[in-house]
Chains A and B, each alone.
Chain A
Amino acid sequence: MPVIDVVNLSKAFGPKVVLSKVNLQVEEGESLVVLGGSGSGKTVLLRNIMGLLTPDSGHVAVEGKIIAELSREDLFTVRQSIGMCFQMAALFDSMTVFENVAFGLRRHHKMTEDEIRARVEECLGMVGLKDTDKLKPAELSGGMKRRVGFARAIALKPKILLFDEPTTGLDPVMTDVIGRIILDLKHELGVTSITITHDLKSAFEIGDRIAMLFRGECIACQAPADFKANPHPVIQQFLRGDADGPFLQDPPPPKRNPQEAHA
């Protein structure tokens, strides 16, 4: 039985259909990477998995439990087994790094302060951020915030990790660092994960399978090598990073000769 089972998931906001009959299954310990253009419904997919949104039709099941049918209490129990890393980290800005990472532990575990401190230090160590525990989120760089977000997500030892565009807006070096941390977490914790990213390099490193959302539909979900070889014109255009092709709804501006552009 898949750990995460997305079945015929559809979601629309007013007239705009964001997801249309999406089917995805993620097995235990597997790492799925979801690619897609901006507005293709990737984040909406994660928010449905977390139960932050309710599907219009279809359902999401986590470990066999249909998320939309759970009571608030049962939903919170399921959420304790899922770690969510937000695109912009979503750290609690009134708290220090330590308090952010310790938040879930204090709410859900009867641990002593020493045990909490040890676990927070362990989590911060895993993301390479020791000795930052007294800092406030405003004092951190974008990459550091994401990593604190990772530490907060793994503090409760979740079985599932969801990463929402963890590298967006970061420089290439920090993007690589984040990619390595996700790989480390995958190997050290053995968690099932879904990663949404635009960064193809990390996508092929992280993913056991790669899915692609296009205009609300899942047009591919396969192993990295097969995905690269997929002849679908949208996938090939996405992999090339070319503006010309069926990917964009509105035609892109005409391509200029580089010499002409610099003149």
Chain B
Amino acid sequence: MVLAVFDKIGAAVLGATDTFGDFAVLAGRAFIAIFKRPFDGKNLLNQFNSVGVNSIPVVVLTSLAVSMVFAVQLAFGFRQFQAEGLASQVEGLAVMRELAPVITGLMLSGRIGSAMAAELGTMQVTEQIDALECLATDPIQYLFVPRLLASMLVVPLLTIVSVYIGFWGGYLILVGVEGQSAYVYGHEFYKLLAFRDLRIAIYKGLVFGMIIALVGCWKGYRTEGGAEGVGNAPTSSVVTSSLWILISDFFLTKLLLV
């Protein structure tokens, strides 16, 4: 009985180590492959388009919605203490440091991470990845690298877009609805912020982009079991990358704010 429990715990630990090791090895191979030739510029541009350009509407809408809701909550909360003026300062701080990077990361893990897992998963079960191998092409270099580079560049850029949209979301509520002065809002929004905060937001976007691409590609690459496997890969990718985005957000915040 006791041995069986230890047996199960041991098997779970071994399984988790095995999974993490597999991810680490593939991630390492992807980073090494960035510097290998041939460099596929056309493939990279395609990824910029699908990862970046096509994600703009999703990021704009979610950033607008979240910043507006947050502004409503701040206006209500600070009104209790007759401190409405602080709402725009806290809005700026929250949007720049947390809301923009995390919302962008989570939305893109759902939009592009799942698409990567589904695409590579389909390629895996239809032997297209084996065909790449047989055509003397490293699938890690051909499939992972453009997605990784595109994500690592695009997620920080979309984070900046999200900050900009967040400014206008707060403006709509605090100026348009709550009646604050537009000049004061524009000034107060940035009052508590420093250049360091923008840098933190960009670093977070960079790490989140890396997580989204690597987890999405890894889940797709390791797909097995036909249609069921292809169906599970995007779900698993979104759950895993979202979890890692939230965990890494905590550590990045602690680390970068010091």
Contacts and interface: CB of A to CB of B under 8 A. Distances in A.
B134 A88 contact: no
Given A86-B127, A93-B126, A107 B137 contact: yes
Contacts of A107: 38, 135-137
A68 interface: no
B131 A79 contact: no
A90 B128 contact: yes
Nearest to B140: A72
Q: Sort chain A's interface into a size bin.
A: 20 to 34
A168 B215 CA distance: 36
B133 interface: yes
Nearest to B135: A104
B130 interface: yes
B178 interface: no
Given A76-B138, A107-B38, A108-B136, A52 B128 contact: no
A50 interface: yes
Interface residues of B, number: 14
Contacts of B122: 93
A87 B131 CA distance: 11
Contact of B134 (A50, A87, A108): A50
A76 B135 CA distance: 8
A77 interface: yes
A19 interface: no
B56 to A, nearest CB: 22
Contacts of A44: none
Contacts of B138: 72, 76
A65 to B, nearest CB: 14
Interface in B31-49: 38
Contact of A92 (B38, B128, B136): B128
Interface in A40-85: 47, 50-52, 72, 76-77, 79-80, 82-84
Nearest to B119: A94
A79 B127 contact: no
Interface string B132-165: 0111111000000000000000000000000000
Contacts of A93: 122, 126, 128
Nearest to A95: B128
Given A84-B131, A107-B38, A90 B136 contact: no
Interface in B92-143: 122-123, 126-128, 130-131, 133-138
A54 to B, nearest CB: 13
Interface string A91-117: 111000000000110011000000000
Given A84-B131, A91-B131, 13 more contacts: A47-B130, A50-B134, A76-B136, A76-B137, A79-B133, A79-B134, A80-B136, A82-B134, A84-B134, A92-B128, A93-B122, A93-B126, A103-B137
Interface of A: 47, 50-52, 72, 76-77, 79-80, 82-84, 86-88, 90-93, 103-104, 107-108, 152, 156
The list of the 8 closest CB pairs from A to B, nearest first, reads A90-B127, A84-B134, A76-B136, A90-B131, A79-B136, A104-B135, A80-B136, A86-B127
Interface of B: 38, 122-123, 126-128, 130-131, 133-138
